[in-house]
Structures are given as structure tokens and as C-alpha cells.
Chains A and B, each alone.
Chain A
Amino acid sequence: MKNLIALFCGGLFGIGLFISGMTNTTKVQGWLDIFGNWDPTLAFVLSGAIIPMAITWNITKRIKKPIFTDRFPKKTEQKLNKPLIIGSIMFGMGWGLSGLCPGPAMASLSFGGWQGLMFFFTMAIGMLFTPLIAKYLK
């Protein structure tokens, strides 16, 4: 059952990314290009996603546990640390370069051509080597 729900949620996520235009890199780069031809679409996407999710987090405070598992994810340690900041800087720089982040990169795999596949594989290689890099940041 959990796997079926995962398939459904992944599917809904993919359709949402596609409809919102986030698989089109020019829309994302247009949002980041505040001194050029600025495109505000991404603000609507984020707001549309955050509002139902904020309600959901409130529901989790009122019910004991998720339907199919034992507990909700705990809020992790709230301290800021080096990996969080350095990682976010790297992510932002890369995001600006191509206009792709991990979700849309996967949602566009079926129609993104060799460019999309190549992006996905280099991203995966980066993820594979991150544990080694993380050691040096401690």
C-alpha cells in the first residue's frame, strides 16, 4: 500500500511540475533574472504548494500518526550549519546556470532529450560523491 501511495504522490508531483511550467527551464531562469525579462510564475507555484502543505502540517499536530506508518517526521535540529549554507549556495548557483532543480530534472526525463539525461547523470554523480565531500566540511 505504501508503495502504491508513493507511486501516486510521485505521479501527482510530476504532473504538478509539468502543468506549472517548472519543467521549462526558461520559466525558472526568467524568475531568477530580476534585471531582465522577469517571470513571476514560480512565485505562484511555490504559494500554491505551500498553502495546502501548511494546512497539512497543522493537521499532523492534531492526529497521532500517519495512516500507514507509526509517526510523523520529527523536526530536525534547527541549528544552521556549514553544509546547509554551502550546499544551498552551490545549489543556487547550479540552479541559475541551467534552470533545473532535482524534481523537474526527473519529471522531464521522458522528454528532455540527451541534455536532460546528461543533467540527470551528472546530478546523480554529484549526489554519489557528496558523502565524501561532507566529511571535509565537518
Chain B
Amino acid sequence: MHPDWVSGLSGGLLIGFAASAYLLLNGRIMGASGILGGLIDLTGYENLLERLWFLLGLVLSPILAIQIAGGHDTQLTSDVYIIIASGLLVGIGTRLANGCTSGHGVCGISRLSFRGITATIVYLLCGVVSTIFFKNLLGLI
């Protein structure tokens, strides 16, 4: 297997190419929470199909990748309370902030968007704080 940073960098480049193609061809910002959230609360009603096709590709393509690369484990916790708390926080948080790691992180920072950069700094710091609190102090995760 490749060292982690090689996989990280090459996977990251693919994400960057996907976001570039989506912007140059369809004129859209590739943000996962925005594409899904707009479907759920119907604010993205006018391009419903485009969103659905995007999500279909996102959900199905890793099945192909697994056939080639093998190895698949999310190692997500089985603690139901942590899953629910985390899911709600991520769902509400990304929609309130109007973006997540792909929208604010990848597309925002690369555009030098002040809001995107600020959001990324805030959620990175809070992710670190969350880890210190729940893992190192409480031992929950």
C-alpha cells in the first residue's frame, strides 16, 4: 500500500478535479451539504435532478473503487447516542453555516472567500476542542 500522504494527496487532487469540472461545466459549487440540504429542505427545487444525479454518483462510485482498491471500513462508532448527537450537529451546523468541508473548505478557501476561510478555521478548531473534550477528558470516543 501507498503511504498515507500519497493516497491523501491523490484523493485530494481527484476531489479538486471534480469540484473544478462541476464549476467550469455546470457553473456550480461542489458542496456536499449544500447539494443534499437543498434537496431536503427543497430550497434547491429548481435543479432537483442535477442534485440527485450528483448524489447518485457520490454514493455509488466508492463501490467501484472498492472493487479495484479493496479495503473498506469506516470504523464509525457503534454508540447510538454519539451517532445521533454527531449526525444532528453536522446536519444542522453545516446548513446553518451554509457549507461544510467541501463547500467552505475546498471551494471557499481556494476562492479566498473570507466567510469560507473563517468557517473552516472555526470548525477545525471546534473539531480539535471536541476531540480533546470527548476523547481526552471524558473518554467517550
Q: A interface vs B, CB < 8 Å?
A: 2-27, 29, 32-36, 39-57, 59-60, 65-73, 75-76, 78-80, 83-103, 105-113, 115-116, 118-131, 133-134, 137
Task: Assess the A92–B24 pair: CB atoms within 8 A.
Answer: no
Determine which of B21, B26, B76 lies in contact with A25 in the assembled complex, contact meaning CB atoms within 8 Å.
Answer: B76
Task: Assess the A90–B65 pair: CB atoms within 8 A.
Answer: no
User: Count the A-B residue pairs with Cβ separation under 8 angstroms: how many?
Assistant: 471
Task: Assess the B84–A41 pair: CB atoms within 8 A.
Answer: no
Distance, CA A122 to CA B89, complexed state (A): 9
Task: Assess the A94–B93 pair: CB atoms within 8 A.
Answer: yes
Distance, CA A11 to CA B106, complexed state (A): 17
Task: Assess the A130–B41 pair: CB atoms within 8 A.
Answer: yes
Task: Assess the B110–A6 pair: CB atoms within 8 A.
Answer: no
B39-72 contact mask (Cβ, 8 Å, vs A): 1 or 0: 0110000000111011111111111111001001
* Least CB separation from A96: chain B residue: B130
Q: B interface vs A, CB < 8 Å?
A: 4-5, 7-30, 32-33, 36-37, 40-41, 49-51, 53-66, 69, 72-78, 80, 82-98, 100-102, 104-107, 109-111, 113-115, 118-120, 122-132, 134-136, 141
On chain A, the residues within 8 Å of B80 by CB distance are 118
Residue in B74, B82, B136 whose Cβ sees the most chain A Cβ within 10 Å: B74
On chain B, the residues within 8 Å of A51 by CB distance are 13, 16, 110
On chain B, the residues within 8 Å of A68 by CB distance are 25-27
Distance, CA A23 to CA B62, complexed state (A): 10
Task: Assess the A35–B132 pair: CB atoms within 8 A.
Answer: yes
Determine which of B66, B86, B95, B118 lies in contact with A100 in the assembled complex, contact meaning CB atoms within 8 Å.
Answer: B86
Residues A21 and B11 in contact in the complex (CB < 8 Å), given A4-B53, A56-B24, A80-B114:
yes
Task: Assess the B14–A15 pair: CB atoms within 8 A.
Answer: yes
| Selected A-B contacts with CB under 8 Å, 23 pairs | A17-B11, A18-B61, A20-B14, A32-B124, A32-B130, A40-B5, A41-B8, A52-B17, A57-B110, A70-B27, A75-B113, A78-B115, A90-B89, A92-B93, A92-B127, A98-B87, A101-B90, A102-B90, A123-B90, A124-B40, A125-B91, A127-B95, A133-B96
